[in-house]
């Protein structure tokens, strides 16, 4: 969505309040002092930095979690200002009830700035984890974070220091009534942090409320977006995510190509992707987790086949109204990587016929069909085309062209893969608007060698063990 339409939507929405600033102004105001906005397709550009401020227990962390969930296909790093609390001296610890954790000086802002500077330049950093119960850092291991497309910096006072504000491309203030914040705080501090309710209320009246009035509320004026009702404000969160995507140059591909289906990202799926993309993953694990993901993609793809309604009698003598699978199916694997997907297809579709296509890939421009073996009656079948990676789209276009030449209707082809580059998706969908693509992830793009990034390397070599780097694990005697 373009900037103007985002603004239109926002103006019509009573849910989001913009503090007199239009979306275009976010960048204009940031220009000069701050970093330009980024496009994740350009590896040299810096991440998009979002600041999220608001009173304690206003719902900042919950809003960030929602944004992160919706940006599931981006590398997002969340940095909490809490991680940069100064450690208390022995003396301060003894009289912790007199310590003001809501004052700007409670934070080591110099440390925060160093970490943010490194992260913005794409360097790995260690972010301390703060122990609220013990009021100290260093108890838990620090979190190592790497390259990010989006950095979210969250905390009560992240808008207080002008140097920290200057790092931000977008500033969000979570606006929640004081009574709700207090109620949540009492619940959180007594339950999670095992504090006494009297002490919580004392801290609130002595430090938390005055600091909110003196330091936090005055920073609301710096916000580009003010969100009432925190994580429940789905309209605001959707608009924020859309804006971030626009700034990253990553339009929602599924909206552009309605025949592209990306399977719902869960932490299980992201975990499996993390493993298969990790260059250190063993061949054994690579195969295991690739197979799990392939199975999910295959099952999802089968869900796009036509069906007929069918009624059966259950052992209780009742009627169950269900559906009958489409039986005229055929798999076609693009040699060699596509062959890794055949087992999953066979496991789901008993006795399925599987054809093969070999395309010679040279420099990724001049594709050449070398070999094909397809069932004779393929034109009567729905075809599940198998290739784990959709990169430039050249091989897929060649393979699909062959299938069309053999008489397979375009709408009868479902292309299944594990990762797709946006370029490949555009290429295939532009050439064949009626075929369906089912994938488990959309990557950032292609590098100068036409390889998908971040990608997972040469899938066939890793799956079939022909990458020379891998140690061979022989069965034990």
Ligand X SMILES: Nc1ccn([C@@H]2O[C@H](COP(=O)(O)O)[C@@H](O)[C@H]2O)c(=O)n1
Ligand Y SMILES: Nc1ncnc2c1ncn2[C@@H]1O[C@H](COP(=O)(O)OP(=O)(O)O)[C@@H](O)[C@H]1O
The stretch among 44-52, 55-63, 242-250, 387-395 that binds ligand X (CB under 6 A) is 55-63
The stretch among 54-62, 65-73, 381-389, 460-468 that binds ligand X (CB under 6 A) is 54-62
- Residue 349 as a binder of ligand Y (CB under 6 A): the answer is no
Q: With contact defined as beta carbons under 8 Å apart, do 380 and 351 qualify? A: no
The stretch among 51-59, 67-75, 324-332, 390-398 that binds ligand Y (CB under 6 A) is 51-59
Pick between residue 80 and residue 290 the one whose CB is nearest to ligand X: 80
- Residue 156 as a binder of ligand X (CB under 6 A): the answer is yes
Pick between residue 60 and residue 247 the one whose CB is nearest to Mg ion: 60
Contacts for 29 with CB less than 8 Å, ≥ 6 apart: 21
The stretch among 54-62, 85-93, 269-277, 445-453 that binds ligand Y (CB under 6 A) is 54-62
Distance CA 344, CA 312 (A): 28
Question: Pairing relation of β-strands 382-386 and 368-373?
Answer: unpaired
- Residue 436 as a binder of ligand Y (CB under 6 A): the answer is no
Per CB under 6 A, contacts with ligand X among 197-226 are 208
- Residue 102 as a binder of ligand X (CB under 6 A): the answer is yes
- Residue 132 as a binder of ligand X (CB under 6 A): the answer is yes
115: exposed, middle or buried (Cβ count in 10 Å: 0-12, 13-18, 19+): buried
- Residue 82 as a binder of ligand X (CB under 6 A): the answer is yes
Distance CA 278, CA 446 (A): 18
Q: Which two tokens stand for residue 185?
A: 């705080």
> Is the peptide bond prior to 273 cis by the omega test (within 30 degrees of 0)?
no
Pick between residue 50 and residue 452 the one whose CB is nearest to ligand Y: 50
Pick between residue 216 and residue 408 the one whose CB is nearest to ligand Y: 216
Pick between residue 61 and residue 420 the one whose CB is nearest to Mg ion: 61
Shortest approach of ligand X to residue 60 CB, angstroms?
6
Per CB under 6 A, contacts with ligand Y among 178-217 are 184, 188
Q: HEC states along the chain?
A: CCHHHHHHHHHHCCCCECCCCCHHHHHHHHCCCCCCCCCCCCCCCCCEEEEEEECCCCCHHHHHHHHHHHCCCCCEEEEEHHHHECCCCHHHHHCHHHCCCCCHHHECHHHHHHHHHHHHCCCCEEECCEECCCCEECCCCCEEECCCCEEEEECCCCCCCHHHHCCCCEEEEEECCHHHHHHHHHHHHHHCCCCCHHHHHHHHHHHHHHHHHHHHHHHHHHCCEEEECHHHCHHHHHHHHHHHHHHHCCCCHHHHCCCEEECCCCHHHHHHHHHHHCCCCCHHHHHHHHHHHHHHHHHHHHCCCCCEEEEEECCCCCEEEEEECCCCEEEEEEECHHHHHHHHHHHHCCCCCEEEEEEECCCCCCCEEEEEECCCCHHHCEEEEECCEECCCHHHHHHHHHHHHCCCCHHHEEEEEEEECHHHHHHHHHHCCCCEEEEEEECCEECCCCCEECCCCCHHHHHHCCCCCCCCCCCCC
Stretch 222-241: interaction string toward ligand Y, x if CB under 6 A: --------xxx---------
Pick between residue 29 and residue 188 the one whose CB is nearest to ligand X: 188
Shortest approach of Mg ion to residue 249 CB, angstroms?
30
Shortest approach of ligand X to residue 94 CB, angstroms?
14
215: exposed, middle or buried (Cβ count in 10 Å: 0-12, 13-18, 19+): middle
- Residue 85 as a binder of ligand X (CB under 6 A): the answer is yes
Pick between residue 53 and residue 429 the one whose CB is nearest to ligand X: 53
47: partner contacted, choices Mg ion, ligand X, ligand Y, none (Cβ within 5-8 A by kind) = none
Shortest approach of ligand X to residue 219 CB, angstroms?
13
85: partner contacted, choices Mg ion, ligand X, ligand Y, none (Cβ within 5-8 A by kind) = ligand X
- Residue 59 as a binder of ligand Y (CB under 6 A): the answer is yes
231: partner contacted, choices ligand X, ligand Y, Mg ion, none (Cβ within 5-8 A by kind) = ligand Y
Among residues 6, 10, 16, 57, which is the contact residue for ligand X, using CB under 6 A? 57
232: partner contacted, choices Mg ion, ligand Y, ligand X, none (Cβ within 5-8 A by kind) = ligand Y
Among residues 61, 74, 246, 250, which is the contact residue for Mg ion, using CB under 5 A? 61
132: partner contacted, choices ligand X, Mg ion, ligand Y, none (Cβ within 5-8 A by kind) = ligand X
Shortest approach of Mg ion to residue 60 CB, angstroms?
5
Shortest approach of ligand Y to residue 150 CB, angstroms?
18
- Token look-up 């780097």 returns 469
The stretch among 6-14, 56-64, 277-285, 292-300 that binds ligand X (CB under 6 A) is 56-64
102: partner contacted, choices ligand Y, Mg ion, ligand X, none (Cβ within 5-8 A by kind) = ligand X
Pick between residue 222 and residue 289 the one whose CB is nearest to ligand Y: 222
Q: Which residues bind ligand X (CB under 6 A)?
A: 56-57, 60-61, 82, 85, 101-102, 132, 135, 155-156, 208
Q: Which residues bind ligand Y (CB under 6 A)?
A: 54, 56-62, 184, 188, 230-232
């Amino acid at each position: 969505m373009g900037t103007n339409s985002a603004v239109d939507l926002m103006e019509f929405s009573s849910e989001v309040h913009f503090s007199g600033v239009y979306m275009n102004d976010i960048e204009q105001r940031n220009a000069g002092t701050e970093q330009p906005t980024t496009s994740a397709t350009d590896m040299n550009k810096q991440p998009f930095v979002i600041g999220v401020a608001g009173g304690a227990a206003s719902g900042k962390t919950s809003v960030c979690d929602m944004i992160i969930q919706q940006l599931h296909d981006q590398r997002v790093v969340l940095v909490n200002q809490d991680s940069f609390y100064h450690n208390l001296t022995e003396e301060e610890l003894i009289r912790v009830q007199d310590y003001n954790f809501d004052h700007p000086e409670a934070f080591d802002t110099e440390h925060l700035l160093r970490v943010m500077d490194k992260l913005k330049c794409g360097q790995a950093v260690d972010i301390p984890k703060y122990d609220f119960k013990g009021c100290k850092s260093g108890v838990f291991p620090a979190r190592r974070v790497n390259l990010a497309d989006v950095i979210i910096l969250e905390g009560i006072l992240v808008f207080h220091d002008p140097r920290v504000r200057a790092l931000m491309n977008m500033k969000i203030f979570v606006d929640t009534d004081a009574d709700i914040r207090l109620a949540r705080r009492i619940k959180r501090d007594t339950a999670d942090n095992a504090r006494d309710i009297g002490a919580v209320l004392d801290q609130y009246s002595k430090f938390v409320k005055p600091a909110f009035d003196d330091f936090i509320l005055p920073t609301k004026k710096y916000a580009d977006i003010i969100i009432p009702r925190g994580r429940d404000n789905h309209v605001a969160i959707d608009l924020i995510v859309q804006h971030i995507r626009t700034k990253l140059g990553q339009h929602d591909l599924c909206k552009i190509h309605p025949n592209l289906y990306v399977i719902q990202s869960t932490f299980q799926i992201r975990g499996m992707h993390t493993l298969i993309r990790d260059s250190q993953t063993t061949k054994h694990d690579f195969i295991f987790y690739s197979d799990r993901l392939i199975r999910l993609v295959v099952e999802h793809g089968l869900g796009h086949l036509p069906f007929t309604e069918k009624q059966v009698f259950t052992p209780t003598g009742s009627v169950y109204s269900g559906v009958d699978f489409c039986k005229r199916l055929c798999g076609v694997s693009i040699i060699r990587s596509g062959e890794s997907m055949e087992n999953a297809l066979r496991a789901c579709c008993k006795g399925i016929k599987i054809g093969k296509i070999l395309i010679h890939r040279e420099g990724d421009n001049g594709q050449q069909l070398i070999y094909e073996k397809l069932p004779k009656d393929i034109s009567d079948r729905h075809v599940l085309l198998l290739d784990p990676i959709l990169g430039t789209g050249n091989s897929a276009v060649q393979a699909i062209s062959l299938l069309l030449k053999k008489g397979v209707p375009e709408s009868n082809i479902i292309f299944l893969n594990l990762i797709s580059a946006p370029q490949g998706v555009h290429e295939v969908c532009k050439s064949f608007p009626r075929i369906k693509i089912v994938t488990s992830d959309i990557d950032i793009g292609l590098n100068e060698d036409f390889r998908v990034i971040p990608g997972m390397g040469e899938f066939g070599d890793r799956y079939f063990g022909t990458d020379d780097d891998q140690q061979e694990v022989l069965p034990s005697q």
